[in-house]
Amino acid sequence: MEAKASASLGVILLLVVVIAEAAVSKGSFEDNFSIMWSENHFSTSKDGQIWYLSLDKETGCGFQTKQRYRFGWFSMKLKLVAGDSAGVVTAYYMCSENGAGPERDELDFEFLGNRTGQPFLIQTNVYKNGTGGREMRHMLWFDPTEDYHTYSILWNNHQIVFFVDRVPIRVFKNNGKENNFFPNEKPMYLFSSIWNADDWATRGGLEKTNWKLAPFVSSYKDFSVDGCQWKDPYPACVSTTAKNWWDQYSAWHLSDDQKKDYAWVQRNLVIYDYCNDSQRYPTLPEECSLSPWD
Ligand SMILES: *[C@@H]1O[C@H](CO)[C@@H](O)[C@H](O)[C@H]1NC(C)=O
Ligand SMILES: *[C@@H]1O[C@H](CO)[C@@H](O)[C@H](O)[C@H]1NC(C)=O
Ligand SMILES: *[C@@H]1O[C@H](CO)[C@@H](O)[C@H](O)[C@H]1NC(C)=O
Ligand SMILES: *[C@@H]1O[C@H](CO)[C@@H](O)[C@H](O)[C@H]1NC(C)=O
């Protein structure tokens, strides 16, 4: 009796899962992305919905969107390299160019691997016209290698917010004037890549990548964009008509609930904040005086 009840519950759950999967099914990788380098280090699940990037001693791998966007909500689920991943960096970022050009704008999430059992760190950075140096580092409140978590960027002309599972971990404000810190002009592609960074990533480069454990694999699914797709030559994205939620007044500031979450992150998870590094910046950069609470 009990076995039968749980069996039919199982069937119902299975149905629910199947229906939910169908609802988020989004076509294939090639619709929106291309591989940047080493095609043979990229693979997908059978149904094409999960993507894997792998790193071995020879090379890593990366992909990018075919389209560029200016403002919006950008989101993806990632599961990071499990076990001993010291030296391995998975980057998930937006950038106006597909190279390290001297005038690029960029918004970065970087996941810094670690020895087994030691915490992954998440580093974020903002570049405008080729200038970065705006790092923050956070610990996470979960093990990002155990399951998929959602990493998102909200970008409008008023603020850039980095989210982890919808919790705002970093807020980068504009001041409404012409400035050299807030990227808002250049449309950006979205990228992800995996690479070896054992010259700096883990404990400042002290921990080297253990190549015996290669390949190192990071996994992706559920890419979504709710934003303005750039069209050359004259983009629709220039004049924003405030009809999109990510561009409306309510998206110019954190909500009250988001402020509570953000305060908790600030109290508990910030490892490094360049705005608090007066050794590196005797005069703190201009944007450091802007309040994330406004
Ligand atoms: C993905 O590609 C399809 C087909 O080209 C397009 O209709 C859709 O808008 C794209 N999705 C995103 C999120 O850019
Ligand atoms: C952007 O950077 C380039 C190269 O460093 C520089 O020549 C240019 O003046 C900068 N543009 C602006 C608007 O600051
Ligand atoms: C790796 O673990 C060590 C020891 O817990 C920690 O000090 C370090 O911040 C962690 N992450 C990185 C990227 O070094
Ligand atoms: C900011 O700097 C002070 C003084 O060096 C330090 O005590 C504090 O922990 C730092 N906070 C963050 C979030 O880095």
> Mind listing the pLDDT tens digit for each residue in 106-138?
999 999 999 999 999 999 999 999 999 999 999
pLDDT at 243: 73
Reduced to 3 states, what is the DSSP secondary structure of residue 291?
coil
Is any ligand 2 atom within 6 A of the Cβ of residue 129? yes
Q: Which domains does the chain have, with CATH numbers?
A: 23-289 (2.60.120.200)
Q: Is the pTM of this model over 0.75?
A: yes
Max Cα distance, the chain (Å): 73
Residue 5: pLDDT over 50: no
User: Cα(210) to centroid of ligand 1, in Å?
Assistant: 38
DSSP assignment of 215-284 equals PEEEEEEEEEEEEEEP-SSS-TTSS--S-SGGGSGGGSS--HHHHHHHHHHHHHTEEEEGGG-TTT-SS-
How far is Cα of residue 128 from the mean position of the Cα atoms in its chain? 17
Residue whose CA is closest, atom 10 of ligand 4? 276
The mean per-residue pLDDT over the stretch 268-276 comes to 98
| Pocket lining: 185 vs ligand 2, CB cutoff 6 Å | no
pLDDT at 18 over 50: no
Ligand 1 interacting residues, C-beta cut-off 6 A? 31-32, 67, 225
Distance CA 54, CA 91 (A): 13
